[in-house]
Amino acid sequence: MTTTAATTPAHVEPVFRPSWIARAIAFFSGTVGLVVKIVLLALLNALAVWAATVLADREKWPAFAALLVATAGIDAIYMISRNRAVPAKFLVPGLVFLAAFQIAPIVYTVDVAFTNYSTGHILTKGQAIQAIQLNSLQQPPNGAVYTLAYARDSGGRLVELLQDQTTHKTYVGTPKKLLAVPQSDFTISGGAITGAKGYTLVPQKDLFSIQGFNIPTGKGAEAIQPQGFTQAAVLEPTLRYDAKHNTFTRISNGTVFHDNGSGSFVSANGAEELEPGWKTGIGTHNFGRVVHDPLVYRPFLRVLAWTVAFAALTVFFSFAIGLFVAMALDKPGMRFLRLYRSLLVIPYAVPGFLSLLVWSGLLNDDFGVVNRSIINPIFGTTVPWLFSDPWWARVSCIMVSTWLTVPYFFLVSLGALQAIPGELVEAARVDGGGPLQIFRRVRLPLLLVAVAPLLIASFAFNFNNFNNIYLLTGGGPAANDQSIAGSTDILISYTWKLAFQAGKGNDYALASTIAILIFFIVATISAVSFWRTKALESLR
């Protein structure tokens, strides 16, 4: 009798195959990782050395010190192999980007707000003094005029070849002196200098790439200044700078211009101001302008009132319409429900700036489809939606902003409504509550628990909704107070106009001041709103 033993198959251990992420981590954990780390740190240090050189050259010592400390800290963190340095290695990149894109702009904005940084006050004081001296050069009566040609000497240095158009004497000018040369050394053809012995004329095609210079004549501050590529003239200063007393004096009448401490040289009675000025700290002067200067605080208060109204009305109408539509479509058995919801989300899916440009065309006062195809055929007139009537322009801004925001609140409200327990609604219905009572006493309070923070965030967003104003009306139409703030400008668009269209040109300092005030206004309103919404927490 033969017995066959049953064999049990051997247990096979599953083969573990690490993921590509694990393999990549393992690959960069050894010598390769160390080499990569050293290379990246070397590049970072090279960039830091370059930045430190630039900062030192411009005498930005606080930034220079901060750069050295930060670079040394990053090197120490990434070269330490101990476990306690591991969290810092992951935190440092985020902190660097936070400092670069959040903290630095905030600090710079605050710094600018306490200066006079604006058109005419951009240079340093030394640069402003040089510019004033250069601007004061004028051609005196019967001043000499020269025919000019640019050339290079045997060493390749740029010189200016000159011939006095009255005496026909010839000269070679350098940035340091004027040399008389024999007329026979020059070749004159058709009233132009076509050659000079020992010099090579600059080709005409290269003239636009060279930079001319003033030539001292040896007679005080008088100098010969190029007036284009073919002519030069003698100019003499009308102002004299006294470095000891830090003043300018007009040579013709002795008027003295002194440093007023606000970045300008002004006359004794303040009637005249030399340009350009220079950037300097002026303390809280810009904040004082917002409070005391009627040319600033009147448009500021008007714009502030409209900004609050615009943001509040946009949020109110958007939430009301979005909630109404959400309640109307909160019926699972409705036909074409998905189609209705998809159509309502379209304004939210289309990029906002495209929608605004389309609406700007639709609402055009003269050629818009709304006026030509709807308003005029029905009412026999047109509506000045955007550019003529300030009140209609404000209505247009609120209407279009509401159209853009309704889909957002529709989605939020629909989700919040569906999160309300059905038992609560049924219990209220059993207790004899009508639809309005159930909505006011049950649904709305529970809805606000989830939606109130979003309402506050939406208010803050619309408070600074630059695109909706700029792309729709541009802040217009013009207001009656003759300020740069139009009838539909909100604070952020008013700030933009201050920065790029104010006064002599740009008033960055005042714009930064308004930006800081916007922050405090929004922060205050948001803080008060969040504090008031604490009462809703008891409904959870």
Cβ-count burial 210-232 (b if 16+ within 10 Å, e if not): eebbbbbbeeebbbbebeeeeeb
CB atoms within 10 A of CB 142: 8
Q: Which domain holds residue 76?
A: 24-113
Q: Same structural domain for residues 47 and 154? A: no
> With contact defined as beta carbons under 8 Å apart, do 345 and 407 qualify?
yes
**Rounded-to-integer distance, Cα 315 and Cα 402, Å:** 7
Q: What is the predicted pLDDT for the residue at 18?
A: 63
Q: Same structural domain for residues 102 and 148? A: no
Q: Same structural domain for residues 89 and 177? A: no
Q: What is the predicted pLDDT for the residue at 109?
A: 94
Task: Give pLDDT tens digits for 179-225.
Answer: 999 999 999 988 899 999 999 999 988 888 888 888 988 877 788 99
Q: Same structural domain for residues 535 and 486? A: yes
Give the domain-ending residue among 208, 237, 266: 237
Which residue is it, tokens 């409904």?
Answer: 539
Which stretch of DSSP H or E encloses residue 495? helix 491-501
Q: What is the predicted pLDDT for the residue at 503?
A: 62
Q: What is the CATH number of the domain that holds 104?
A: 1.20.58
In a domain, 5, yes or no: no
Q: Same structural domain for residues 386 and 535? A: yes
DSSP string, 250-307: ETTT--EEEE-SSS-EEETTS--EES--B--B-TTHHHHHHHH-HHHHHHHHHHHHHH
In a domain, 388, yes or no: yes
Contacts of 348 (CB under 8 A, 6+ apart): 404, 407, 408, 411
Mean pLDDT of the chain: 87
Contacts of 468 (CB under 8 A, 6+ apart): 352, 356, 397, 400, 401, 404, 462
Q: What is the CATH number of the domain that holds 311?
A: 1.10.3720.10
Residue closest to 262 by CA, chosen among 278, 248, 274: 278
> With contact defined as beta carbons under 8 Å apart, do 484 and 502 qualify?
yes
In a domain, 272, yes or no: no
Q: What is the CATH number of the domain that holds 197?
A: 2.40.430
Give the domain-ending residue among 237, 257, 279: 237
In a domain, 9, yes or no: no
> pLDDT below 70 — which residues of the chain?
1-19, 21-30, 81-84, 503-504, 534-540
Give the domain-ending residue among 237, 260, 281: 237
Q: What is the predicted pLDDT for the residue at 480?
A: 82
Q: What is the predicted pLDDT for the residue at 24?
A: 67
Q: What is the predicted pLDDT for the residue at 328?
A: 87
In a domain, 280, yes or no: no
CB atoms within 10 A of CB 165: 14
In a domain, 15, yes or no: no
DSSP assigned state of 167: T
Q: What is the dihedral of CA 120, 123, 126, 130, to 10 degrees?
A: -60
Q: Same structural domain for residues 85 and 149? A: no
In a domain, 67, yes or no: yes
DSSP string, 344-377: HHHHHHS-HHHHHHHHHHHT-TTT-HIIIIIIHH
Q: What is the predicted pLDDT for the residue at 434?
A: 82
**Rounded-to-integer distance, Cα 260 and Cα 125, Å:** 12
Q: Is 526 exposed, middle or buried (0-12, 13-18, 19+ CB in 10 A)?
A: middle
> With contact defined as beta carbons under 8 Å apart, do 337 and 331 qualify?
yes
Q: Same structural domain for residues 308 and 232? A: no
Q: Same structural domain for residues 81 and 170? A: no
